[in-house]
Structure 1
Amino acid sequence: MTAKQLWQRIETMLHPAVLLLSLLLVFTSSWVLIGRQLTSRASFWDLLHVYGGLLTGILALLFAVKVCVGGQWRQFFPWLTLDVKPLMSDISGLMRGQLPHSGGKGLISVIEGLGVILLLLVALTGAAWYAADPSNALTWRYYHIVFAHGFIGFIVLHCVLALLHLRDFFN
């Protein structure tokens, strides 16, 4: 198997793997009892969250690479090139009661791009919390939780948008 074939196989599994691991981490996070650092008395849930989060962070980074390869980043982050006309068109359409369509550089793609950013911020702050000096760890824990809450909101919105995408198949 060549490197390209391996990457293609990994690429097809990234979205579902990130989704499933993220949901596992979210649904079990209330059982996590980590303050400043992971201790030798850490529970199964603490260890699962830390090392599952590490795996999810690595997959999130690969997912971000997948999204950005080949100029595809322009679809999810069109505001970086000041190409906001499709986004503004979708927003004005919403004001008139029209639902945006998926694809292109519009609202749905921008929301997906923000989800990638949130996922990376959750991973980055989780890693910083793990690696931080105990005197700074609670600050990183706070940021990790803030970005995790934002990412949870994104997951809910992403599911709603996925249902809207099904509408495109029937039109």
Structure 2
Amino acid sequence: MSDTTENVWSPTLRWLHFGLALAVTLQLFLSLVMEEPGEAEGLETWAFMAHELFGLTAFALALLHWGWMLGGHDGGWRHLFPWDRQGWRAVWRDLSGLLRGCLPEGGPHPGLPGLVEGLGLVLVTLQGASGFAIFLLLPPEGGLPERFEFLSELHEVFGSGVWLYWFGHVGMALLHRLRGDAVVARISPFKSR
């Protein structure tokens, strides 16, 4: 049986999701403590270096996630972007269910959860790409060259979006858990099918 018919994520995707969630969470919270090189001292310097490490890890995992999904696994790109008629029907069905107090079922099928996951993956990828560019261009003493300062601004804008997405994603997972849904167990790499 395929993962799609069982409505269960593959082990590969569950590990990618876990790694991405952990790396993004760590780099978000490290961003609250860090300072740029040249301005940082002590803990702030270590937080900046750890933020770079977990940011690069998150970017790499996001790219692996794209590769996995675009390779047709776990519902493929149609799971992330249900742009066809069947996908939009699933999204509208999930939205109308939400209005009636029914949470959408997760899993590798088209609908609102997949669309939200796809938008989050786009956001994390853009955040990671801007961070990677800054990593390549930032001199050890700090301070991007003036012509590249727009990258820092983009990184901050995407970072705000990632924070909003993080709170929403964690909030929905908690809501599913409180309602007794098995969505969290199905995405966990530590639970057997």
Q: TM-score range by the shorter chain?
A: 0.7 to 0.9
Consecutive unaligned residues in structure 2, runs of 5 or more: 1-9, 138-143, 184-193
CA–CA separation in structure 2 for the residues paired with 1:101 and 1:59: 25
Q: Alpha-carbon deviation of 1:115?
A: 1.0
Corresponding position of 2:117? 112
1:2-81 correspondence runs (5 A): 12-34=14-36, 38=37, 43-70=45-72, 72-79=76-83, 81=84
Check if 1:168 corresponds to 2:166. no
- RMSD after superposition: 2.7
Partner of 2:141: none
* C-alpha spacing 1:11/1:84, structure 2 compared with 1 (3 Å): closer
Identity within the alignment, %: 32
> Structure 1 residues 23, 56: CA separation in 2 closer, same or farther (over 3 Å shift)?
same
Higher helix share: 1
Cα displacement string for residues 41-90 of structure 1 (whole angstroms, at most 9, x for unaligned residues) = 772222111232112211221122223321511111112x4531111222
1:94 match: 98
1:156 paired with 2:167, answer yes
Instruction: Indicate if the aligned counterparts of 1:86 and 1:107 stay in contact, CA closer than 8 A.
Output: yes
User: How many pairs are equivalent?
Assistant: 158
Matches of 1:105 and 1:9, distance apart in 2: 19
Q: Which runs of 5+ in 1 are unaligned?
A: 1-7
TM-score (norm 2): 0.69
What TM-score, normalized by structure 1, do the two folds share?
0.77
> Which gives a bigger RCO, structure 1 or 2 (Cα 8 Å, sep 6+)?
2
Q: 1:105 to 1:48 in 2, by over 3 A?
A: same
